Amino acid sequence: MKIVNCKLKIVFMGTPEFGAIILEKLIKGGYRPCLVVTAPDKPVGREQTITPLPVKVLAEKNNIPVEQPEKIENCKLKIENLKPDLITVAAYGQIISKDILDTPRYGSLNVHPSLLPKYRGSSPIQAVILNGDKKTGATIILMDEKMDHGPILNQRAMTIEEKETAISLHDKLADLGANLLGETISKWTRRMINPQPQDDAKATFTKVLTRADGQINWQKSAEAIEREIRAYLPWPGSYTFWEKTGKSTQIKTLKARVYKSPITMTYPIGKTLVVPQNELAIQCGKGFSMGAGDFLVMERLQMEGKKEMSSEEFLRGHPDFIGTILK
């Protein structure tokens, strides 16, 4: 991002690492906010230690004032009194009222990690991997009161790598979005952009992910499950259950690949077996394009309460795993 001599009074709103990456690039690019608004500190880990979120940590490191309202409306007066020129939003996590959005003279800009109007909502990064898309991108919109609905100010596409995970794609899109935001602010505040309304007829929507989404359904095709594993890393994760002597143990799958057997083999859905190279595989459902000899190979996995390991390491310690049916 090009360094500029910027006198704009900017309020930044964001919460997780995606927002922190964009905030850092704004600061380095000369667009230092006069206020950062983020979520309240939250309990983290087994000890439930109250921990500041990434955006707050970065703001305090750069001596930028921080507000952490439970509800954004509680911060409305503070923002109005600042008389900001611009509000920038990146993964803030709350619906912002029209009164607040319309406060700045240049309005409020949002960085969204998809090629809007496709994949509006909270999980666009996961959605492109789940659907096997070949490209995605970042979009800057002028916000209105509807979710991810405002007119497009700038947009840029990027290719999705074959084995992209939500972790790697997240960082690439945050970096792309940050650069695009800096470019857009410069042009937008100089009246060099003509906003383009989104085509609502082409809009698609993503869901709010829950922990339950991570449970693997072995009835699906191996291809679909492999995409889920990459899309749900690190959260909600992809997990299954091993029933052993009346006890159910959760096993996370961290990395996997599709294995197509050269011979036709049909096993019960969810059955575990060993494939060449002494790796663990599971019989999956056929799906629409899958054959009976299609399996998912677990390359990296983690038992509940244990460290991550390869499937070969796992099988050395748990030979009785083979032949079981996963739930």
Model pLDDT for residues 210-234, shown as the tens digit of each residue = 999 999 999 999 999 999 999 999 9
The predicted structure's pLDDT at residue 102: 96
Confidence at residue 3, expressed as pLDDT on a 0 to 100 scale: 42
By three-state DSSP, how is residue 202 classified?
helix
Taking 80 as the threshold, does the pLDDT of residue 49 lie above it?
A: yes
pTM score = 0.92
Determine the average pLDDT of the residues in 105-111. 98
Is the pLDDT at 292 greater than 70? The verdict is no
Q: Which amino acid is at 186?
A: S
Task: Convert the pLDDT of each residue in 115-148 to its tens digit.
Answer: 999 999 999 999 999 999 999 999 999 999 999 9
Amino acid at 144: D
Using the CB atoms, write b or e for 221-243: b if 16+ within 10 Å: bbbbbbbbbbbbbeebbbbbbbe
Q: How confident is the model at residue 293 (pLDDT cuts 50, 70, 90)?
A: low
Is pLDDT of 289 > 70?
no
Measured between alpha carbons, how far apart are the two ends of the chain, in Å?
49
With a CB cutoff of 8 Å and minimum separation 6, the contacts of 183 are: 1, 154
CA–CA gap between residue 292 and residue 152 (Å, rounded):
46
The total of other beta-carbon atoms located within 10 Å of residue 263's CB is 6
CATH of 211-321, one of 3.30.930.10, 3.40.50.970, 3.10.25.10, 3.50.50.60: 3.10.25.10
Is residue 288 very low, low, confident or very high in pLDDT (cuts 50, 70, 90)? Answer: very low
Q: Which CATH number fits domain 10-202: 3.20.20.70, 1.20.1630.10, 3.40.50.170, 3.10.330.20?
A: 3.40.50.170
pLDDT of residue 1: 45
Cα torsion through 121, 126, 129, 132, rounded to 10: -40
Considering only residues 47 and 305, tell me which one the structure prediction assigns the higher pLDDT.
305
Higher pLDDT, 315 or 45: 315
Give dist(CA 267, CA 69) in Å, integer: 54
Query: Among all chains, which residue has been given the structure tokens 């009074």?
Result: 9
Specify the higher pLDDT residue, 289 or 62.
62
- Cis preceding-peptide flag for 234 (omega within 30 of 0): yes
Q: Where do the domains of the chain lie? A: 10-202, 211-321
pLDDT tens track for 149-176:
999 999 999 999 999 999 999 999 999 9
SS3 252: strand
Higher pLDDT, 140 or 246: 140
Residue 153: its H or E element: strand 152-159
What digits encode the pLDDT tens for the residues 253-285?
A: 999 999 987 767 778 999 999 987 788 999 998
DSSP 211: G
Our CA dihedral for 276, 281, 287, 292, rounded to 10 degrees, sits at: 50
Distance separating alpha carbons of residues 56 and 54, to the nearest angstrom: 5
Look up residue 173 and give its two tokens.
Answer: 């899109």
pLDDT tier, 47 (very low <50, low <70, confident <90, very high otherwise)? confident
Q: What is the pLDDT of residue 317?
A: 93
**Cβ atoms within 10 Å, residue 8:** 20
Whether the Cβ atoms of residue 258 and residue 193 lie closer than 8 Å to each other: no
Alpha carbons 10 and 83: distance in angstroms, whole number: 9
